[in-house]
Structures are given as C-alpha cells and as structure tokens.
C-alpha cells in the first residue's frame, strides 16, 4: 500500500502557495508602474543584458513567443522598450530599452527592493532559499519524459 500523501507536507504545494503569494506581492509592488510580474522579469533581463533577440529573451525569462509577443507589444506601447529587425539578420527581432525604460530602472529597483525587505530573510537566508528552489527546478527539469511511462496507473 502506498504511503498517504498529505497536502500540507508537499513541497510542490508549498511552492505553489508561495507562487500565488508572490504574484499578489508583485502585483501590488509594481502597480504604480502599471507592470505585471511577467513584464517586470522581461525588464530585469533587458536591464541586465541589454538588447536581446525575442528568442534569446524568451529563453532567458522562460516565456514562449505566444506569451512574450503580446507582453512586448504592451511594453512597447507603454514606452518601456522598442522592437526592431536586426540589421545583421532580418529574420531576427531585437528588443531594447527606450530611454524611459532605462531611466525607470532605479525607481523600480528602489520600490521592489524596499518591498523585498518585508520578506524577513537575511541575505544569506534569501540566497539559500533561492538556491534550494533553483536546485529543485533543475532536478525536475532533468527528469526524462520516458521515466513517467513506468509509473503505476489506474489499470496497474
């Protein structure tokens, strides 16, 4: 007989609940800038790496083109970034910050950084939690799809 699975003891449920709370947290923190969390992580990538192709940006932030394209159009409409065809390869669409997007980095960083203090973790604790969650993510991502074929099913 299998060991019963207790909801509140599941790491996946804890991460799921934390994800929901983080979404609410960032919605409030980013509201003055009219940014969503997904838009924020795109801006973080552009502030850190500069101009990126849409493909490279999507890989960096983990968003597919179906999600990324409307998000980029909205950020462009709101003046945060611009999209243009690469001069070296017309098939490639590059994304870069506008002057407004670059100028707003300090304001966004200050607000979100101040909010992050509310989490109540020391820098070492913060880094430890982030690294542990990243390790879980990496281990899950490395599991081959074929491994699931041998798991028990309702017919077993």
The domain that holds 39 is classified in CATH as: 1.10.10.10
- Predicted confidence (pLDDT) at residue 139 exceeds the cutoff of 60: yes
Q: What is the mean pLDDT of the chain?
A: 91
- Which of 84, 81, 73 lies closest to 43 in space, CA to CA? 81
In a domain, 51, yes or no: yes
In a domain, 154, yes or no: no
pLDDT at 115: 75
Q: Model confidence over 6-64: pLDDT tens digits?
A: 999 999 999 999 999 999 999 999 999 999 999 999 999 999 999 999 999 999 999 99
Least confident of 45-54, 103-112, 119-128, 146-155: 146-155
Provide the residue count of the chain. 156
In a domain, 151, yes or no: no
In a domain, 99, yes or no: yes
Domain that holds residue 59: 24-141
End-to-end CA distance of the chain: 13
In a domain, 19, yes or no: no
In a domain, 67, yes or no: yes
pLDDT at 151: 77
What does pTM read for this prediction?
0.85
With beta carbons less than 8 A apart as the criterion, state whether 96 and 82 touch.
yes
CA 140 to each of CA 20, 22, 91, 136, 137: distance values in angstroms, whole numbers, following the listed order: 20, 21, 33, 6, 5
Structural domain count of the chain: 1
């Amino acid at each position: 007989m299998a060991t019963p699975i207790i909801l509140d003891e599941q790491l996946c449920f804890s991460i799921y609940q934390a994800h929901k709370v983080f979404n609410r947290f960032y919605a409030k923190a980013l509201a003055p800038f009219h940014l969503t969390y997904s838009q924020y992580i795109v801006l973080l990538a552009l502030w850190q790496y500069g101009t990126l192709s849409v493909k490279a940006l999507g890989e960096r932030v983990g968003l597919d083109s179906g999600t990324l394209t409307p998000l980029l159009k909205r950020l462009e409409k709101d003046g945060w970034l611009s999209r243009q065809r690469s001069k070296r390869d017309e098939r490639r669409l590059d994304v870069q910050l506008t002057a407004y997007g670059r100028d707003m980095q300090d304001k966004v960083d200050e607000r979100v950084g101040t909010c992050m203090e509310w989490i109540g973790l020391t820098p070492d604790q913060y880094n430890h939690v982030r690294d542990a969650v990243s390790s879980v993510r990496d281990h899950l991502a490395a599991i081959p799809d074929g491994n699931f074929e041998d798991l028990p099913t309702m017919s077993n």
